[in-house]
Amino acid sequence: MGEGKIVAGCLAPHPPHLVYAENPPQNEPVAEGGWEQLRWGYERLRESLKDIEYDSIVLLSPHWQTYVGTHFLGLENFKSLSVDPIFPNLFRYHYDINIDVELSQAICNAAAEAGLPTKMMTNPDFRVDYGTITTGHMFNPEWDKPFVVISSNRSTHYYSVEVMQEMMLELGRITRKAILESGKRVVVLASNSLSHRHFTTESDMPEDMSKEHITSHAMHLWDMRMIDYMRSGQSQRIIDEMPEFTEQAIAESDGGGLTWLLSTLGVPEYPATLHGYGTIIGTGNAIVEWPVHKYEEAKA
């Protein structure tokens, strides 16, 4: 086949607070708003891609945690209730997600051929994790595109950040090749926060923004350093500093999504666009787009 294309790659974090604050009909709890800086950031991201045509969304979520290899959602549709185990007061979301099984199987097969342990998830009762659902909703509230959903193999925890990076760099190269060979136009999403130190208590009203701030100055400095590298096209430095960042900022990059994203994009040297930054219960979250479509048009 061939002629497939990655049209954009995004860092698209998934704190369930964002969906809670949007009050969509699928979510049971009701909020008085909150976290607007980030929700407006998602609006800007959606606006930026609204005229770009694509077939599917490929997403890696750190909350689908698999210890034996990388798994892929493998049925045409999953429909159920997703509840955040830590914030059931904020997130009880009735989802109905369509899967691009053809592309999912193609990436899974390519990973298996390269020697990575893989599995297609074909249990119809499988509950899709809230990271996938939150990022899916915030990126595409209409749910009108099929997804490929990739699990987070917990190699940081089983081994180290260095081992995780080796595996995710390889999975990214494989994902890229499989997309280009598929003939499809695709957006790739890494669903993770940056610094990830939570407060240990929640305010009486979770959406009370007078209580929201970064957990510590050190976390702020790490987040700004990473964002600066993204905005100045220094992806390789992000990869090089990932072990220190992940350990010192307790960053959610431990799940491998950010490394996988950069590898899938071919370790880009062009600047990414920051659509929004904000904290959620003390964690740092950035909405960032690598506008592959613009970069490739400029080269042509």
- For the CB of residue 252, give the shortest distance to ligand 2X7 in the complex, in Å: 5
Pick from 95, 73, 93: nearest CA to 83? 93
Instruction: Give the CB-nearest residue to ligand 2X7.
Output: 15
- Residues 6-45, one symbol each (x = binds ligand 2X7 by CB under 6 A, - = not), give --------xxx-----------------------------
Phi, psi angles (nearest 5°) of residue 125: -95, 5
Site size with ligand 2X7, rule: CB under 6 A: 8
Does 212 participate in binding ligand 2X7 (rule CB under 6 A)?
no
Nearer to ligand 2X7 by Cβ, of 125 and 204: the residue is 204
Q: Rounded CA gap, 29 and 118, in Å?
A: 36
Q: Tell me whether strands 77-83 and 273-280 are parallel, antiparallel or unpaired.
A: unpaired
- For the CB of residue 216, give the shortest distance to ligand 2X7 in the complex, in Å: 15
Does 283 participate in binding ligand 2X7 (rule CB under 6 A)?
yes
Among 10, 103, 150, 281, interactor with ligand 2X7 by CB under 6 A: 281
Q: Kindly give, in sequence order, each residue whose CB lies less than 8 Å from that of residue 210, ignoring residues fewer than 6 positions away.
A: none
Nearer to ligand 2X7 by Cβ, of 63 and 176: the residue is 63
CA 259 distance to own-chain centroid = 11
Residue with tokens 């994902």: 175
Among 70, 165, 193, 264, interactor with ligand 2X7 by CB under 6 A: 193
Phi, psi angles (nearest 5°) of residue 23: 55, 50
Count CB atoms within 10 A of the CB of residue 36: 14
* Angle subtended at Cα 6 by Cα 5 and Cα 12, rounded to the nearest 5 degrees: 160
- What is the footprint of ligand 2X7 within residues 230-269 (CB under 6 A)? 252
Nearer to ligand 2X7 by Cβ, of 212 and 252: the residue is 252
Give contact residues for ligand 2X7 (rule: CB under 6 A). 14-16, 193, 252, 280-281, 283
